[in-house]
Amino acid sequence: MSSRRNVIFFNYSIPCLAIIVIVIQMVVVKTQNLSKWKGGGYGMYSEIHYFYNQIHIPNLSVDSLVDVNSNLKNSLGYLMLMPNDNRIKESAQLILETTKNDSISVQLWKPVVDSKKQSLTRVLVNEIQLNNGDL
């Protein structure tokens, strides 16, 4: 490499890399429902933290499920962070395998705040109904 090429490389490679990571994060936020807080896009504090998302499984306690299957903890963590179709299906399959139920329903709810009405409610972001035969 010539000296001029070296200077261009050292000057622009790191900023370009940083921009690429941000663009990837923004695309994943848009297409995969990733929380803006993560992924290296510097979107923290621009929306309510994914920690406040709520996984609802009728007639089952999420805490007790996590205790039984450690893989589920990881999967449900990803579901809160990135509640897209693939993640919810993966979690539902793991829950079905763990509980040996005939069918399972998994829902992901997000908090919605309205400062005009001074209210807090929850909206359904994603849900899945999975039967044992679908596995």
Partner 1 sequence: MKYWQNIKERLENHWQLTEQLLMLFAFIYIVVLANDFKIWKLCILFSGFLVWFLIGKNAKHPISWIVILLLLIIDLVGSYFWVANHHFLLLFVVLSMVFYGYHQSNVILYKNVQALLIIVLCASVIHKLFSYQFISGNFYYHSINQGTIFKSLFYFFPDSLEIANSNAESIKELNETDPNLLGKIKLVDVFPNLRIITIVFAWMTIIVEFLAAVALLSKPKSKWTHLVLIAMILGILFTKLETGFMSLLSICGLLLCNHLKLKIVYLIVAIACLTMIITKIGYH
Segment (H or E) for 13: helix 3-32
Select 87 or 96, whichever has its Cβ closest to partner 1: 87
Contact 125, 114 (CB under 8 A): no
118 scored as a contact of partner 1 (CB under 8 A)? yes
Segment contacting partner 1 by CB under 8 A, of 44-52, 65-73, 95-103: 44-52
Q: Where do contacts with partner 1 occur on this chain (CB under 8 A)? A: 6-7, 10-11, 13-15, 17-19, 21-22, 26, 34, 36-48, 54, 56, 58, 78, 81-82, 107, 109, 111, 113-116, 118-122, 124
